Structure 1
Amino acid sequence: MDSVKTATFLEGSLCVHIFLFTILVSISLNVIAEKLPPTSQSVSLPSSGMFQPIEISPSVLPNYPYLGKVLPPMYPYFPKTYKPVLTGRCPFNFSSISNIMEKTASDCSVLLASFVGNVICCPQFASSLHIFQGHFSNNSDSLVLQNATTADDCFSDIVEVLASKGANGSIPQMCSYKPSNLTGGSCPVKDINTFEKTVNTSKLLEACSVIDPLKECCRSVCQPAIMEAAFQISSSQTMVDKSMNTGLSNHVDVLNDCKGVVYSWLSRKLPSDAADTSFRILSACKVNKVCPLDMKEPVEVIKACRNVTGPSPSCCSSLNSYIAGVQRQMLITNKQAIICASFLGSLLRKGGVLTDVYELCEVDLKDFSLQGCLLRSLPADVGYDNSSGFSFTCDLSDNIAAPWPSSSSMASFSLCAPGYNGWLFLDLLIIIVLVLFVVPLNDLL
C-alpha cells in the first residue's frame, strides 16, 4: 500500500452538499447535510488529472435563545477554554505564532480529532511543530532545540496551549509525535550557518515558497528539493556510519531527521501562513497515498460473494455490513476512498470473488467515509463558529461508483498519470546510493 501514488482527474460538475457536524456530549456524531440543485448529473472518472474541490458554505443552525439552560441533544457541546498552565521553562512567546496555534487547536478539537486525525489534525499539528521549531531560536544560529530537557518542556507547553484552546490533549499519541522531533535527532547539521553552506538554499526556497497543489503530488517540485537538501546535510553522517559498519535503517533515520531540519529552515524563511500552506500540501501528498482504514480479511464477504454472477441479497448484505464497519472509523479523502475501495476489491479478488460486487451492490466511494462525507484531497480545515458549529468541505457527495480492481494486485496501482515522478525517482536514487556506496555488503546479506 505504501507504494501507492496520488492524483487523478475528476471532470464534470458535481452536486454541492452542505455538511455540518454536530456531536453529542458523550458518544454520538450527527451530520446535517443540505443538497443544492445540481448543475449537471454527469460524473466521470478519467485516467489522468486531479480532483477539483467542491466549495461549500456551512449550514447554519437556528439560534438557541435559552443560553442559561442545557442545550438539547441536537446541539453540540463545546468545551470551555481555559488559561494554560505552562512549565515556565520553555523560552518562547507563543503569541508570535498565535494564528497557527489557533488553527491547529480548531483542526484538532477534542470532539473531532479522532475522526479527522489522519487528514486534518495530524498534518496541521506536524506543520505547527515545524513552524515552532523554526521560530524558537529565530535570533540564534540553531535550527533545532538543542537539548532534550528544553524539548520536553516546550513540547509540553505546546500541547497545553492547544488544549487550552479546545484541542484534544492526546494529539501527540494519536499523531505519533514526541519531544525528540524538535531536536533534529541524529541529523549532523543543526545550525543555520553550516546548513546554508551545504545546501543550495535559493533553489530550496524557490521550490517550496509557493507550491502548486494541483501538481506537487505527481509532478513534484518542493518534495525533491527537500529530499536533496536533507541528503546533502546528512552526507557527513553517512560517511561516519560507513566506518562504524551500520545498516541502511540508520541512514534512513538520519535522512528523516535531516528532513525535519530542512522544514525548520523553511519555517524561518517563510511567513507562518505560507509555510503552513506548503507543509499541509506536502502532507496531503503523503496521506493520500494510502488507505488509512483498518481492513480485516473479509472472510464472510468472500464466502457470501465468491460464486455470485447476478443479484444476491446475501452477498450485498454481507458486503454492506463489512463496509459499514470500516466506515465508522474516520473521515477520509476522495483519493483515499479510491485506494480503500481498490484495496478491499483486491482482497475480495484474492479470495475468489471475480464479479464486480461494487456494481452489483451499488457501492459508492462515499460509503467508505464516515457519514458518507468524503473530504477533499487538498488541505482543508475544520470550520467553526457559534451559529454553525463544526463544518467541513465534502467532495464527491454524489453517487460515484467505487472502482472494482482489474486484478488482485495493488503493486501497479497509481492515481498519478503515467510519466516521470521526480520525487519518487529521487527517493529511489538516494536509496540506491546508500546501498551501493554507504551500507557495507554484510548488512545486505
Structure 2
Amino acid sequence: MRILRGAVYRQLLVLTIWICVSQDVVSEKTELQRNSHAPDKFVLSDPPIGLFKPIEISPAVIPRNPYPVEPLPPMYPSFPSTYEPILTGKCPVNFSLISSIMEKTASDCSAPLAGLVGNVICCPQVNSLMHIFQGAYSSESSSLVLPQIAADDCFSDIISILASRGANSTIPRLCSVKSSNLTGGSCPVKDIATFEKIVNTSKLLDACDPVDPLKECCRPICHPAIMEAALHISSGGSSTLDNTNTSATGIDVINDCKSVVYAWLARNLSPEDANSAFRILSGCKVNKVCPLEFKEPSAVIKACRASASPNPLCCDSLNAYIAAIQKQMLITNRQAINCATMFGSMLQKGGVMTDVYELCDVDLKDFSLQAYGQQGCLLRSLPADVIFDNATGFSFTCDLSDNIAAPWPSSSSLSTLSLCAPEMSLPALPVAQNSGKLGNSKSGVGIATFILLHLISSITL
C-alpha cells in the first residue's frame, strides 16, 4: 500500500511539473507569435541544418525576466526621447547631405548602449562619420579639411545633433574624437588640387570602391592603397617610400594624412558607400585585438595549476573570474578568439598547462556580455549596427557559431595566432557538450532560460 501511494505521489509530481512547463512554453510561443508579424524581422521555423545562420535578438524575442529580483540587463533598455538640437549656426556644412549617416551613428551610439558596443559598433561608426563629414565639407570647398575655428563649431553641432537623436553625449570621450580630427592635423597636403596631383587617385578609387568585406582583412587592397597615398602626401609627393620617417612625430603625420585620404574618398563616394568601406576597414582593425581588460588571475592559477581532470574548485574559480569579464562589453566572435587565447596564455604562464576551457566547458560566448546572466551574445566579425524601431526596440545580430568551445592556446606565446589561417576560421556548431563536466555555468539553467534558448535557436533571418 505504501509503495502504491508513493507511485501515485510521483505521478502527481510529474503531472504538476509538466503542466507548469507547458504553460510557460505556451505563453512564450504566444508572445513570439504576436510579434512575428513585424516585417523583415524574423520567422519562426525549425532550426537550420549545419552552420547556424546569424540571428537577430530583440526585446520581442526575450521572454519575461526569469529572475524578477534582478534588474533587466542593459542590453534591452528603453529608447531615450529626442529633442531639437541647439546648433551654433556657424558650421558651413549642410547636414542634410549626410542625414542617413547621422541617424545611423545616433542609433549605433544610443545613450544606454554606447559604452557596451563602443569598441565594435559605436566608435567605428563615429570615425566613419567624421571622415564623411570632411568629404561633405570638401564638396563645397577646395580643401579636404576644415580650419580649426570651423572645426570647433561643426564638431559641437555634430555632437548636439547626435545627442538630440538619442546618442550618448559622452561620445568624444568614449571614442577619443575631437574637433582637431577634422583639420588634417600636421599633414602637409590639405587641398584637393595638390592631393590629386601627388596621389594616383584612379588606383586609390579602384582599390576602395568597393571594399570586399570577406577579403580585405586577410588580403587587403584598400588599406595598402590608403597607406601608400598617405605616405606620398606626408612626404610632399616623394616617389620613394623607403626613407619614411618612423619616429613618433612621423607616425603622427602619416596618421593625419590618412584622415585626409579618407576625406578624399568620402568626397568621391556616396555617403553610404563610403560608410560601408570605412566600417569594413575599422572591422579589420578591431578584430585583431582583444578589447577586454584582464586582471591578474592569481586565484584561478592557484586553483587550476594542478588540474588534470574536472576539478570543482578550479572550475568555480574560473567561472567567477569570467563572470566579472562578462560585465565589460559586447565583442565579436573574432575578438572572443583573441580574448580566449590571451587569457589562456596568462594561465599557461602561471603554470596551468591543462586545457581548463574544456574541463570547465567554457565557450567563446562566455567572454561577452550576458543577458539575464545566462545567455551570451557575440557579434559577427563583419560590421554590425544597432537597430531600433518602435515595434521591437533595440536589436542586435548575434552569431550562433559562438557556441563553440573557447580555444586553448597551443603555447603561452601569442605570436603565432592568425585569424586568417584556415584552421582559425569559425567552425560549425559542435555536438552537445558532455553534461557531466563540472563547473558548467549553463548546467543549472532554469526552464524559462531553456525556453529562451530553444526559441532563439529556432529563429532565422
Q: Please, what TM-score do these two structures have when normalized by structure 2?
A: 0.75
* Deviation for aligned residue 1:294: 0.6
Q: Secondary structure at the match of 2:395?
A: strand
Summarize the Cα distance change of 1:34–1:112 in structure 2 as closer, same or farther, 3 Å threshold. Answer: farther
1:39 is the counterpart of 2:48:
yes
1:396 paired with 2:397, answer no
TM-fit CA distance, 1:79: 1.5
Aligned residues: 365
Change (3 A) 1:133 1:53: farther
Paired residue for 1:294?
293
TM-superposition CA deviations, 1:279-324 (whole Å, max 9, x none): 0000000000000001111111001000111110000001011111
Q: What's the counterpart of residue 18 of structure 1? A: none
Distance 1:268 1:197 in 2: 16
Picking from 386, 392, 398, the partner of 2:390 is 386
CA contact (8 A) 1:365 1:401 kept: yes
1: CA distance, partners of 2:322 / 2:266: 41
Q: Is residue 2:391 matched to residue 1:406?
A: no
SS at match of 1:331: coil
Distance in 2 between the 1:291 and 1:238 partners? 37
- Going from structure 1 to structure 2, the CA distance change for 1:247 and 1:56 (only over 3 Å counts) comes to closer
Aligned sequence identity (%): 66
Query: How many Å apart are 1:96 and its aligned residue?
Result: 1.2
Query: Is residue 373 of structure 1 aligned with residue 357 of structure 2?
Result: no
CA separation of 1:61/1:342 partners in 2, compared to 1, >3 Å: closer, same or farther? Answer: closer
Residue 399 of structure 1 and its aligned partner are, at CA, apart by: 2.6
DSSP-derived class of the 2:338 partner: helix
Q: Is the 8 A contact 1:323 1:367 kept in 2?
A: yes
Q: Which amino acid aligns with 1:368?
A: F
List aligned pairs for 1:224-243, cutoff 5 A.
Answer: 224-236=224-236
Contact 1:334 1:396 in 2 (8 A): no
Amino acid paired to 1:150: A
Structure 2 vs 1, CA of residues 59 and 174 (structure 1 numbering), >3 Å: closer, same or farther? closer
The match for 1:313 is: 312
Letter in 1 for 2:142: D
Runs (4 or more) in structure 1 with deviation over 3 Å come to 33-37, 55-59, 72-76
Q: Per-residue deviation at 1:137? A: 3.0
1:266-305 paired onto structure 2 within 5 Å:
266-305=265-304
Tell whether the 8 Å contact from 2:59 to 2:394 is kept in structure 1 after alignment.
no
Cα drift, residue 39 of structure 1: 2.6
Does structure 1 retain, via aligned residues, the 8 Å contact 2:364–2:406? yes
Instruction: Describe the superposition over 1:426-445 as per-residue Cα deviations: whole angstroms up to 9, x where unpaired.
Output: xxxxxxxxxxxxxxxxxxxx
- 53-62 or 87-96: which moved more? 53-62
Q: Which residue of 2 aligns with 1:102?
A: 103
Residues 333, 402 of structure 2: 8 Å contact kept: no
- CA positional deviation for 1:73: 7.2
> 1: distance between equivalents of 2:55 and 2:377?
14
C-alpha RMSD of matched pairs (Å): 2.7
> CA 1:414–1:398 in structure 2 vs 1: closer, same or farther (change >3 Å)?
closer
Closer/same/farther in 2, CA of residues 76 and 413 from structure 1, 3 Å limit: closer
Q: Is the 8 A contact 1:382 1:392 kept in 2?
A: yes
Q: 1:139 deviation in Å?
A: 2.2
Give the TM-score normalised by the residue count of structure 1: 0.77
Deviation at 1:80, TM superposition (A): 1.2
Q: Distance in 2 between matches of 1:362 and 1:61?
A: 26
Indicate conservation of the 8 Å contact 1:304/1:318, yes or no: yes
How far apart, in 1, do the equivalents of 2:267 and 2:176 lie?
24
Matched residue SS, 1:391: strand
| Alignment gaps of 5+ in structure 2 | 1-41, 63-70, 240-244, 371-375, 423-461
| CA–CA distance in structure 1, aligned partners of residues 288 and 246 of structure 2 | 27
In structure 2, the partner of 1:425 is none
* CA 247–398 in structure 1, closer or farther in 2 if over 3 Å, else same: closer
Q: CA contact under 8 A between 1:187 and 1:237: conserved in structure 2?
A: no
Superposition pairs for residues 212-223 of structure 1, below 5 Å? 212-223=212-223
Partner of 2:132: 131
Seen in structure 2, the aligned counterparts of structure 1 residues 406 and 61 have a Cα distance that, compared at 3 Å, is: closer
Q: Secondary structure at the match of 1:216?
A: coil
Q: Deviations over 1:352-379 (max 9, x none)?
A: 0000000000000000010100001001
Partners of 2:186 and 2:347 in 1: how far apart? 43
Pair 83,197 (structure 1): closer, same or farther in 2 beyond 3 Å: same
Contact 1:366 1:399 in 2 (8 A): yes
> How far apart are 1:78 and its partner, in Å?
2.2
In 2, the alpha carbon distance for the partners of 1:225 and 1:208 equals: 8
CA contact (8 A) 1:188 1:237 kept: no
Q: Cα offset for 1:186? A: 0.5
Partner residue of 1:91? 92
